[in-house]
Structure 1
């Protein structure tokens, strides 16, 4: 295991400046809670989960090649843009252990053992899923919304053996208890960087958010892992909306761009040339739909944007709005606003 860790660390030390950084520790801690269950007062035991490390496609390819003669077994799967959910054998909970309200007919299809995966409906429907998860009005519309949801499972926690042995337990269960709402995520064995690149392009070309690469030879583990890698076609980050620039021409009367403050705690990892002691403003115009320009995320909301490397001044190059991550109310409820982007 020490040899494996040293390999990936060596690759990171020689990575290009455009390589995706590791996932954001502080942000990840709160994302499941707010995005998928803040409204719920039901608190379950907080599950211990694994968290992936971000890597570029080129870095991942080199890792595959240097691991080819070892005991590592790399498997690739699609990364779905849903809401992560943990099934503890009795209820669905978020990363923070907040209970997710779901119809009985949905949870009745789930097994008596633990699962980890994504609640997902369709590509580009994160906002729909996030809103549905936060709601518990038990209305006909709410129930119909759940009819569009599937639970895409990528792990069977606390079972013995490697990844495929653990996933086989769910597949065996589904043979006896089939369900249209419970679907294991396909895992593809990867033996070369060429094969990795081919799958990556295919999945991203079909609308996938990216891929997850896992060392399937290892037993089940939790915490932030370098044996579980997240690979996307772009880098992404979060920022807080602090104002708006008015639109011009066709966009007269609408928002031209969002004025956003980068999160100070992300700077050392994502934007190391920027000072942590002062506020840094960027503008997000690209990516906003006409509907979002007419009714933009409110001041104080946290939004996610993607970018392509850094400028010579250390700022994100070509930032593009993706979606709102937290509402202003959710940011305030977690007391994140002043901590994350105000000057220290």
Structure 2
């Protein structure tokens, strides 16, 4: 093999590897939420709105998605952000998830469109051994001193009983919120899924990988009638509701990860009333 061969191989790899894959970095060390179960309530929690946005990690020099994809934000958006890593969410507003994705996944950011986007910050990953209350105090002061309009602290509310949680969940849901997030008082920042971060919605949600399509019938003849998916534990089931006509004509790609909603489980352990919600865009 000549000395030029390795360079030629690299050149051709660059031609065939998707640009989004080249933009991948290490997966950020984020705390991930488990579902809150009312029957397991105990102690005091800090409650905040569950934002319908895109999880975002500022590593001190760039914005990353939950899966490690680089988010190409305009220079103004990250100017002035600290060296301290920040855990938060890119957000436009309630019910604006798809609009947000069209903005933040563009590799050539549009300044005017990004003006709609805010960085809602809710934690400090490097302060992992500090109790939640201390981290929030540090974070509030940090964001106040930054004085950047589009970088905002996510309001936290102390709740001491289940009735208060249910009341706030109902109120926020009526206003169009996706649900609430709960953190036990005094909790540390744990990487991965744990009971240190909980999500609570009127409908539960989870993720699964698309493995096959089922042809539609009747009004959906010629389109996808349902998709077969696989849960992380290997369980297979199909989802046939929640799709728009456009999504049935252009279904989630095989191998992609989707979010679905459901209401408990059947006797066979399958998600009950599973309904498609969205493709997990940062995992393309």
Normalised by the shorter chain, which TM-score bucket? Answer: 0.7 to 0.9
2:176 to 196, 202, 207: 207
| Whole-angstrom distance in 2 between the partners of 1:74 and 1:208 | 19
Which residue of structure 1 lines up, in the alignment, with residue 259 of structure 2? 304
CA deviation after TM superposition for structure 1 residue 319, in Å: 1.9
Asked if 2 retains the 8 angstrom alpha-carbon contact of 1:74 and 1:190, the reply is yes
Which residue of structure 1 lines up, in the alignment, with residue 39 of structure 2? 59
Change (3 A) 1:40 1:255: closer
CA deviation string 1:38-79 (max 9, x = no partner): 7163455653222222222x235x32xxx3xxxxx4201111
CA deviation after TM superposition for structure 1 residue 207, in Å: 2.1
Which residue of structure 2 lines up, in the alignment, with residue 336 of structure 1? none
| Whole-angstrom distance in 2 between the partners of 1:263 and 1:46 | 20
Asked if 1 retains the 8 angstrom alpha-carbon contact of 2:215 and 2:221, the reply is no
2:60 to 89, 95, 99: 89
CA deviation after TM superposition for structure 1 residue 282, in Å: 1.9
Residue 236 (structure 1) aligned with residue 205 (structure 2): yes
Asked if 2 retains the 8 angstrom alpha-carbon contact of 1:241 and 1:258, the reply is no
Residue 261 (structure 1) aligned with residue 261 (structure 2): no
2:125 to 157, 165, 181: 157
| Whole-angstrom distance in 2 between the partners of 1:205 and 1:148 | 23
Residue 129 (structure 1) aligned with residue 96 (structure 2): no
| Whole-angstrom distance in 2 between the partners of 1:326 and 1:103 | 20
TM-score, structure 1 normalization: 0.67
The answer for unaligned runs of 5 or more in structure 2 is 1-17
The answer for unaligned runs of 5 or more in structure 1 is 1-36, 68-72, 268-279, 331-344
| Whole-angstrom distance in 2 between the partners of 1:264 and 1:218 | 27
Residue 315 (structure 1) aligned with residue 270 (structure 2): yes
| Whole-angstrom distance in 1 between the partners of 2:20 and 2:196 | 33
| Whole-angstrom distance in 2 between the partners of 1:112 and 1:201 | 38
Change (3 A) 1:148 1:266: farther
| Whole-angstrom distance in 1 between the partners of 2:268 and 2:21 | 43
Which residue of structure 2 lines up, in the alignment, with residue 147 of structure 1? 115
Asked if 1 retains the 8 angstrom alpha-carbon contact of 2:211 and 2:255, the reply is yes
| Whole-angstrom distance in 2 between the partners of 1:116 and 1:190 | 22
SS class of match (2:81): coil
Q: How does 1:20-39 map to 2 (within 5 A)?
A: 39=20
TM-score, structure 2 normalization: 0.79
CA-based RMSD: 3.0
| Whole-angstrom distance in 1 between the partners of 2:252 and 2:27 | 30
Change (3 A) 1:302 1:46: closer
CA deviation after TM superposition for structure 1 residue 136, in Å: 1.3
| Whole-angstrom distance in 2 between the partners of 1:38 and 1:213 | 36
Q: How does 1:277-296 map to 2 (within 5 A)?
A: 280-285=236-241, 287-296=242-251
Aligned residues: 265
CA deviation string 1:76-107 (max 9, x = no partner): 11111222111122221233444321111000
Asked if 2 retains the 8 angstrom alpha-carbon contact of 1:161 and 1:219, the reply is yes
CA deviation after TM superposition for structure 1 residue 246, in Å: 2.7
Q: How does 1:6-17 map to 2 (within 5 A)?
A: none
| Whole-angstrom distance in 1 between the partners of 2:239 and 2:27 | 37
In terms of fraction of residues, the more strand-rich structure is 2
| Whole-angstrom distance in 1 between the partners of 2:131 and 2:220 | 57
Greater CA deviation, 316-325 or 125-134? 125-134
